[in-house]
Amino acid sequence: MNDLVKKQCDLISELGDSNFLSSDKEIYSYKSFANSVNEKIVKLKGIGCNQGDGVALGTSHGLDYFISFIAILAIDCVVIPIDKSANQDAINFIFEKTKPKVILGVENKSFDYIPNLHESKVYPSQLGAILFTSGSSGTPKGVMLTSAALLGNALATLRPLDFNKNDHLFVNTPYHFTSAICHFLSAFFSTGKLTIIETKLLPLDLISAISDSGANAFGGAPIQLLWIVGAINSSLNLRWVMTSGDDLPESTQKQLATKYPKSHLFVFYGLTECGGRFCARSPTNNSAKYRSVGKPIPGMKVEIVDTASNSLAAGNIGEVVVYGKFLMSGYLGEDKPIFTSNGGLKTGDSGYIDESGNLYLLGRLDDVFKVAGQKVSGLRIRDAILQTKMVCDAFIIPFRDANSGVIPGLIYVEDSKITFEKSLFIRKLRSLLPTNHIPRKLIVVSNIERTGSGKIIKKNLINNLAKLNIARLEDGSFTEESVSN
């Protein structure tokens, strides 16, 4: 048995009949949650689940997902979260990769437990979870995390995060996502309350749901925070807000400070490969500026390296490399080297560290590109675009023009409440950005698809651009097909 999980369940049980975990359909008290976990442990053992067995866990049974999650960890089995809305091919892909012994809450909703039809795989006893990446930019990968990494990351996250037993956190994200798991484990170890709704809510519905829940804290993607601060005639009682996933624009942070001056903002940077969270910027960190994601949580550290993996001094831009005890064991089924020679994990993100040790992100490596020989940051451009309040979503691409070479290209979604005027838009940007950062190719789309954690689904974006006769070249830039042919 996992002693840490079992002791925390015993503590939660002692907190009695007040609400602990709820959704838009269900409520569990502290005591009923702990009792349900114990019942689930008995059932899992009764059907032959032993240490190291993989258990595929879908969300078709609602909040029972989190009960099962804790029960699986408690008996030292390996939890494998599954997206219940995924198509059959995607589910079969995960089943074939992981070969679970038992399948819960995925296909047949008439049964709690579905014995696996093929030979199951036994994993090392210290392995706690296999979390599959969203596959937003390629094939999903199975991130192998030990129980110590997953649970330790949650405990380390609570060090900078002021989540106490009197707080009530509201989250709207799919349960199988790493962010949902992190939020849940934070509530589990802090013994605070959690309302978590899996169904994707539209802006006004999200605000109403937060208000109706009585929550005094919100955790979510930057796009959701943008909805909250941009809503007219709405006011929420938020003691604190935490955000992670996509970049949080400076303009959104300023709007939050204006609309909710008493609300504390916590900015997190995380990766599934790091056990969830990695860096945190708390309100007490006076050395960090708006664009910073703060400093590594306890147990982790960060380094910036060049293309030859040489460490760079403060202020120099390079790739972000992560070190620490919450790193994944590796990708399932992949034997090729994943870590640097000294044990660091290359994140694929571009950034720099200031003199105070705060990390600043510039986006993915391909979000930083050269225009007229000078580097530009797609995140910086997007931040300025959102400050204009003339579009409701935006994404920057390196666009290859036949005459000018690489220029910033803007993919944007119009705001239905205003009329987009290109000349006024460009004038506003010129007051916010250097000349080489001004988008010279503007592409309007009906929607920019994002994952539940707010990250853009790039493969879908690329496919949608192809329908507009815009293709991605081998170097990562985009161009009109008629120009490249």
Record the pTM. Answer: 0.86
**Band of pLDDT at residue 134, cut at 50, 70 and 90:** confident
d(CA 310, CA 306): 5
Domain ranges of the chain: 3-360, 372-484
Question: What is the structure's pLDDT at 408?
Answer: 95
Residues 59, 106 contacting (CB under 8 angstroms): no
In the three-class reduction of DSSP (H, G, I as helix; E, B as strand; rest coil), residue 424 is classed as helix
Whether the predicted pLDDT of 181 surpasses 80: yes
**Comparison of pLDDT for 234 and 276, the residue scoring more:** 276
For residue 348, count other CB atoms closer than 10 A to its CB. Answer: 12
**Comparison of pLDDT for 116 and 13, the residue scoring more:** 13
d(CA 314, CA 357): 8
Q: What is the DSSP string of 211-259?
A: HHHT-SEEEE-HHHHHHHHH-TT-----SEEEE-SS---HHHHHHHHHH
Q: Spelled out in words, what is the top-level CATH class assigned to the domain 3-360?
A: alpha beta
Whether the predicted pLDDT of 137 surpasses 60: no
| 386 Cα distance to chain centroid | 21
Mean pLDDT along residues 314-321: 95
What tens digit of pLDDT does each residue of 28-73 get? 999 999 999 999 999 999 988 999 999 999 998 999 999 999 999 9
Whether the predicted pLDDT of 401 surpasses 90: no
**Band of pLDDT at residue 245, cut at 50, 70 and 90:** confident
Residues 70, 35 contacting (CB under 8 angstroms): no
Question: What is the structure's pLDDT at 484?
Answer: 42
In the three-class reduction of DSSP (H, G, I as helix; E, B as strand; rest coil), residue 50 is classed as coil
- Per-residue tokens: 200: 């994707």
**Band of pLDDT at residue 127, cut at 50, 70 and 90:** very high
Whether the predicted pLDDT of 430 surpasses 50: yes
Whether the predicted pLDDT of 477 surpasses 80: yes
Question: What is the structure's pLDDT at 485?
Answer: 38
Q: What is the DSSP string of 106-127?
A: SS-TT-SEEE-SS---BPPTTE
Whether the predicted pLDDT of 118 surpasses 70: no
CATH architecture of 372-484: 2-Layer Sandwich (3.30)
